[in-house]
Amino acid sequence: MIKRVIDISEPSYLYVEHNQLCVDRNKETIARISVEDLGVLILDHPAIVVTQAAIKVCQQNNAVVLFCDERHLPISITLPLWEGHSLHTKVLREQLSITIPARKRLWQQVVKEKITQQIATLDRAGCSAEGLRRLLKKVKSGDTDNCEAQAARQYWPLLMGKSFRRNPADSGANSLLNYGYSIVRAMVARAIVGTGLHPAIGLHHKNQYNGLCLADDVMEPFRPWVDWKVFELQRVAIEPEITKDTKQVFLAMLGQGVLFEKRKMPLMVAVHFMAARLKEAHTDKTTTLLYPKRFEF
């Protein structure tokens, strides 16, 4: 079933009562959400107070909690590493024993899917993607020629204009991209933990300070989905910013209908099936990664 995404962006008090997450504002209860329905809880205000019991029950129900900074960008994610899967230790051993050739093969599949999605986004935007189509055919195991970076250098000027620079520290479109990527990252990390895989052990990303290397690997093909939403927002606002309305554009993505193995389902559900294939691919070299397909933008 599709899980709920709850965004709290005003001073609030969060606690648990009768297996429900309660939200009080000005000493009045304004919302009650069944903890079993929670998928992602976003806390985006410095005056939010949340009880330890509320955080615990989110973890016990495999719900992600995102804490945001003063720019409204997620800065911290809590994940139920032990509660997420009953065979976590067994799966972790399998994950650590994956061979280098298998890791490179999976990364090749990720890069090819990312470039494929970039092409789809450019086509939708009415931009020429011939250069990316040529690169797609050249992606080798482990992406030794770094086709991913070559594609990015062509992709951003085509989609966002020659003056655009992808800089996570900038405001405007860059801040919206940051927010959208963070939401997708949390969704993917939640699905990965649910399989028993550890999100810090990546296929390609290896930063020792990054606890979500695997999530960052797997989410790459979803970035063009976020890019398209930002492209659309720029059509109606010259310099769009993170607001309650623009946040809803990205939160709605999690419930967006997609196709996975010819079945229509919400994106958040499809990502769990995708993560299950990723887990299987760690022990079976014949298993390939399969990503959801957009049939609506």
Instruction: State residue 86's pLDDT score.
Output: 58
**pLDDT the model gives residue 182:** 94
Residue 195, pLDDT > 60, answer yes
pLDDT for position 289: 94
pLDDT of residue 82: 63
Q: What is the pLDDT of residue 74?
A: 85
Residue 208 has pLDDT above 90, yes or no: no
Q: How many CB atoms lie within 10 A of CB 23?
A: 21
| pLDDT of amino acid 80 | 78
69-86 tens-digit pLDDT: 998 888 888 887 765 555
pLDDT tens-digit profile of 250-297? Answer: 999 999 999 999 899 999 999 999 999 999 999 898 999 999 999 766
pTM value > 0.85: yes
pLDDT at residue number 91: 85
Q: 176-192 pLDDT, tens per residue?
A: 999 999 999 999 999 99
Q: In this predicted structure, what is the pLDDT of residue 240?
A: 82
pLDDT score recorded for residue 210: 83
Q: Is the pLDDT of residue 18 over 60?
A: yes
1 has a pLDDT exceeding 70: no
Q: Which domains does the chain have, with CATH numbers?
A: 4-78 (3.100.10.20), 88-294 (1.20.120.920)
Over residues 92-130, the pLDDT tens digits come to 888 999 999 999 999 999 999 999 999 999 999 999 999
Residue with tokens 């979500």: 212
Quote the mean pLDDT of the chain.
Answer: 91
